[in-house]
Amino acid sequence: MLNNLKPQAPDKILALMEEYRADERDQKVDLGVGVYKNAEGETPIMRAVHKAEKQVWENETTKKYAGLAGQPEFHAAMAEMVLGKGYPADSLACLSTVGGTGACRMGFELARMANPGTKIWVSDPTWPNHLSILKFMDQDFTTYRYFDSETRSVDFDAMIEDLKGAKEGDIVLLHGCCHNPTGANLTLEQWGKVADLLQETGAVPMIDLAYQGFGDGLEADAAGTRLIAERLPEVLIAASCSKNFGIYRERTGCLMVLGSEETKKTVQGNLAYLNRQTYSFPPYHGQALVTRVLTDPELRADWEAELEDVRTGMLELRQQLADELRKLSNSDRFDFVAEHRGMFSRLGATPEQVAAMKEGNAIYMVGDSRINIAGLNKNSVPLLARALIDAGV
């Protein structure tokens, strides 16, 4: 039986992580996987999360099963963070998931259960694992144009033109903020136009919100999602806690499904059913940490302050890189780096140029020239800038 299995192509982002680890050169720069790193190249546990962890450890008295759909207090805290105070609790169903990836997967599954003929529209480009999951599910999907590779900004007219083809009951997957892999994002006005179009077509938005707090701030990064949630009758939101709480390995995510007061109970039942059929109970620990951090005023203030430092640190690196490239290229063609938001920017290098920088400079970026800004520090920014120019980007 087992000889029937075919080898699987490794995930490109994760394979790059391994390749970087195996590289023995002293001066190497990892701009691959989307994991935050401080100036020392470390990914520390956030202060408030560490304190919350101690409190959870001291107070936890049992390891018996908890909620099948997750913890209601985690759902409430997440809904408030994503949708704001006064979110419509009566029409919101929530599911705790295995990370943001789990939330995406469960969102796709729910959409298919609700509408077996649904087609899923994803931005071109998008996080490669969106495509990979959809292919694995044998789920019908298509892409809409998103990124203008000349200006390295959103090609909004093309996006709207393509999304006019979405039908009632189709799912339109949008990145809530910090678009992965491009770093180019919609303005609030553009979000408004997307909402108009979705209202016209009857397509259902699904928002992947994996980097709230990494772009323009915790509140600002949720503005597009909140606008969509206010305007559209049905919305799916896949939120991740991996990045903004730095709890990657705890696998903590939340799928929120906004419908009506009438649909809430059935949606909630279907969400719990999905967990049960897939892995039964979701991981508890990360939910407990996030709930504590979000609901304890002292922990929350400290977490927000640290998250803000992370965000502004990345903005400084963006500005430094843009300045350096302006100097070396004697042009403003890399100014987009400072305009982009979040962890990533797609630089516009060819796969050959990306390979040359890996071979020659030990600089690792994803093959489509996506860099993780947080993989840089003040010393490696000039190295990257020099390598880009030398590679002819």
- Residues with active-site annotation: 127, 208, 210, 243
Size of the site for ligand LMR (CB under 6 A): 6
Residue from 28, 33, 47, 143 that binds ligand LMR (CB under 6 A)?
33
CA angle in degrees (0–180, nearest 5) for 113-115-121: 105
Minimum Å distance from CB 337 to ligand LMR? Answer: 18
Kindly tell me which of 38 and 187 has the beta carbon lying closer to ligand LMR.
Answer: 38
Q: Under DSSP, is residue 64 helix (H, G, I), strand (E, B) or coil?
A: coil
Rounded to a whole number of angstroms, the minimum distance from the CB of residue 108 to ligand LMR is 16
Kindly tell me the burial class for residue 85, based on how many C-beta atoms sit within 10 Å of its own C-beta (0-12, 13-18, 19 or more). Answer: exposed
**C-beta of 16: minimal distance to ligand LMR in Å?**
9
Sole binder of ligand LMR in the list 71, 96, 126, 180 (CB under 6 A): 180
CB closer to ligand LMR, 267 vs 337 = 337
d(CA 210, CA 1): 38
How deeply is 4 buried, as exposed, middle or buried, from its count of CB atoms within 10 A (0-12, 13-18, 19+)?
exposed
Residues 189 to 248 in contact with ligand LMR, rule: CB under 6 A: none
CA 184 – CA 336 distance, rounded (Å): 9
Mask: binding to ligand LMR, 5-24, rule CB under 6 A, as x and -?
--------x-----------
- d(CA 46, CA 213) in angstroms, rounded, equals 14
34 belongs to the binding site for ligand LMR (CB under 6 A): yes
Kindly state the smallest distance separating residue 20's Cβ from ligand LMR, in Å.
13
Q: Identify the sign of the CA torsion 24, 27, 31, 33.
A: positive
C-alpha span between 129 and 76 (Å, rounded):
28
Among residues 38 and 331, whose Cβ is nearest to ligand LMR? Answer: 38
Task: Name the residue with the smallest CB distance to ligand LMR.
Answer: 34
Q: Would you count residue 129 as binding ligand LMR (CB under 6 A)?
A: yes
Strands (E), 12-151: 29-30, 92-98, 120-124, 141-145, 147-148
Residue with smaller CB distance to ligand LMR, 198 or 374: 374
CB of 207 to ligand LMR, least distance (A): 15
For the chain, percent helix, then strand, then coil, each to nearest 5?
Answer: 50, 15, 35
Among 36, 121, 127, 191, the residue binding ligand LMR under the rule CB under 6 A is 127
Please, which residue, 180 or 270, has the CB nearer to ligand LMR?
180
Binding residues vs ligand LMR (CB under 6 A): 13, 33-34, 127, 129, 180
